Amino acid sequence: MEKFTTLTGVAAPMPMINIDTDMIIPKQYLKTIHRTGLGKALFAELRFNDDGSEKEDFILNQPAYRKSNLLIAGDNIGCGSSR
């Protein structure tokens, strides 16, 4: 494995604090042992309406941030679970 030194890409601003793991990947999507295909569940409850349509105001649904590979968030991201 190569040493990681630089990440080049687009950073999406998400100025929220206390983003817990259930917000990042909701539990209903964790019925697999595979580590692939979870991207569609990323922030699902914040990102999509009940009918599956995108919420236009969510940062990762905006054209400039759809391909983001870095998230800039407030304090305590990934809290609330042993995951």
Q: What is the pLDDT of residues 14-59, one digit of tens each?
A: 999 999 999 998 888 888 888 788 888 999 999 999 999 999 999 9
Give 75's DSSP letter.
S
Within a domain: residue 3? no
Specify the CATH number for the domain of residue 66: 3.20.19.10
In degrees rounded to 5, what are phi and psi of residue 2?
-80, 150
Decide: pTM greater than 0.85: no
The domain containing residue 51 runs over which residues? 11-73
Q: Residue 61 is encoded by which pair of tokens?
A: 């649904």
Domains of the chain: total: 1
Within a domain: residue 83? no
Q: Are 66 and 7 in contact (CB under 8 A)?
A: no
